[in-house]
Structure 1
Amino acid sequence: MPAPVPHKPLVWLPACHRHLDLSDPGGYTVLADRYAAAVCELGMQPVLFPMAGANDVKDLLPLVDGVLLTGSPSNVDASHFGAKALDTDLLDPRRDALTMALVRTAITEGTPLFGVCRGLQEINVALGGSLYQRVHDEAGFLDHREPEHEELEAQFAERHDVLLAPGSAFEQWAGGPRALVNSLHGQGIRKLAEGLAAEAHAPDGLVEGVRVTRATAFAYGVQWHPEWRHAANPFYQRTLEAFAQACREHSQRRAV
């Protein structure tokens, strides 16, 4: 028989859910194009399972070669870490339910996993950690939010250094012990989950990059947005390329 034609690695991007049209109470499934575009530019194919829930993860995860947990305007519901959601929080309970299960299963099954912004927070909460709900209201911390009313170029501009753990993959991707990153978040890691190693910190000490210590495949999360103009930023590009390489290797293993 002829050898199977290799396909592009498939990367699952969990969607967000919005009520964009008040006359349609069913809501909409949404995904920011920049994440899907970055996946494509890395030679992979983004996939969505719009109605997937926690009970579907076991059946759907074997179909893909990696999971990218994207950022979102919504926050992880504080009830997942024993607190109460703020009145100002934009919540997405369908995404919460999916990603809490997806994080744990991807790690257990050895599927490459990369979390960006909210995705980092999802990894931390899914594994038992907690979040600051307003980092900017905590004593001693910077305001990590973007300038909301500026153009996207200003919102995604590099704003502060991250200090990278010696010998870590982050240091390797950056080519040194620190890197300049963007910052567009109001929540952040308070209690680091057991099983995560903090390998990147903001100047105020906030954890901004983690590695899942027991993972058998690529499993990292970052608080910044490496998908933004990644081709022009060697640190962002190397980080994403490392994830892509892990997905390619997983795809090859699945094809055997």
Structure 2
Amino acid sequence: MHDANRNRPLVGVVCDRFFVGEHDLHSAKHSYVRALMAGSCVSPVLIPASQDIDSIEGYLDGVSGLLFPGGASNVEAKRYGGPVDAGMLVDPDRDHVALELMRGAAACGMPFLAICRGFQEMNVAFGGTLHADIHASGHSADHLEDIDEDLHTRYRYRHDVELIATGTLSSLAGGHRVRVNSLHRQGVAALAPSLTIEARASDGLIEAYRLSGHDFALGVQWHPEAMMESDALSRALFEAFGASCRRYAALRAAAHHES
């Protein structure tokens, strides 16, 4: 095995759970795996979504970072006290695992990156609420996905976001405005108290935030994994995440050595 690969920290990727025909599957899109390997220079491992998992400690002990990716489903309304929509696609197994892992990572200082559905999970995990349908709540149609478009067209840049001048993303971007490829129906209603806003869309919707007082715990509503090879901020974001995972792995190894 090449030394560079041997020394890469493990990063857990939370799976979705869904059926294809009669087959019950756990999966994550390859675009996230590829971005972690090429941009963050880490080794991804998939974490299944199951309500049968009653302890997340073993996963937290085994990885040096976590990625909470996008997904087709939405966070269940009961997780944040919202009205139940029987027609909404949900994944209670992923909710169970993702919210527990996110809180556990925050408690031990583990780096994590939350994208799209993961971004929404992040707000809920720390006590925030969501709009089940941002368009119905008065926000721009620019955020919504058109499933009739081909995949490349669907993930094009959709709208600008304004980056907060003192934020992590502004530092990585070297500026205060970037164009992003947001595709989502849920969105932030009430922001969790421990989250600090990193970016807003022109219609006021929060599009990125960080967990205050944490080395790297960042959520973005858009899809940097789809643009990493061509977009400077997307590349910088995954590189910064990887660097934080390596710092965490080194600190944990040193602590184990001392004990």
The TM-score, its normalising length taken from structure 2, stands at 0.91
For residue 219 of structure 1, the aligned residue among 209, 217, 220 is: 217
Aligned-residue offset at 1:166: 0.9
8 Å CA contact retained: 2:36, 2:42: yes
1:102 aligns with 2:101: yes
- Aligned partner of 1:28 in structure 2 is 25
Aligned-residue offset at 1:168: 1.1
Corresponding residue pairs, total: 248
8 Å CA contact retained: 1:142, 1:204: no
Aligned to 2:148, what secondary structure does the other structure show? coil
Q: Which amino acid aligns with 2:219?
A: G
Aligned to 1:11, what secondary structure does the other structure show? strand
Aligned to 2:179, what secondary structure does the other structure show? strand
Q: Distance in 2 between matches of 1:98 and 1:51?
A: 6
1:118 aligns with 2:114: no
* Structure 1 moving runs of 4+ over 2 Å: 49-56, 139-143
Q: C-alpha deviations, 1:180-209, integer Å up to 9, x for none?
A: 000210111011001001110001000000
In structure 2, runs of 5+ residues without a counterpart are 255-259
Aligned to 2:210, what secondary structure does the other structure show? strand
Q: Distance in 1 between matches of 2:213 and 2:54?
A: 24
1:71 aligns with 2:70: yes
Aligned-residue offset at 1:143: 4.0
Aligned to 1:137, what secondary structure does the other structure show? coil
Aligned-residue offset at 1:7: 2.4
The TM-score, its normalising length taken from structure 1, stands at 0.92
Q: Distance in 2 between matches of 1:144 and 1:115?
A: 17
Q: C-alpha deviations, 1:15-43, integer Å up to 9, x for none?
A: 11011123x4xx11111111111111132
Aligned-residue offset at 1:228: 0.6
Q: Which residues of 2 match residues 1-256 of structure 1 at below 5 A?
A: 7-22=7-22, 24=23, 27-42=24-39, 43-50=41-48, 55-215=54-214, 217-256=215-254
Q: Which amino acid aligns with 1:239?
A: L
8 Å CA contact retained: 1:12, 1:68: yes
8 Å CA contact retained: 2:160, 2:201: yes
Q: 1:199 to 1:169 in 2, by over 3 A?
A: same
Q: Distance in 2 between matches of 1:102 and 1:186?
A: 24
Structure 1 vs Structure 2 CA RMSD? 1.6
Q: Which amino acid aligns with 1:185?
A: H
8 Å CA contact retained: 2:200, 2:207: yes
Q: Distance in 2 between matches of 1:52 and 1:63?
A: 18
In structure 1, runs of 5+ residues without a counterpart are none
Aligned-residue offset at 1:248: 1.2
8 Å CA contact retained: 1:13, 1:68: yes
Q: C-alpha deviations, 1:42-63, integer Å up to 9, x for none?
A: 3211102326655321122021
8 Å CA contact retained: 1:16, 1:95: yes
Q: Distance in 2 between matches of 1:18 and 1:185?
A: 19
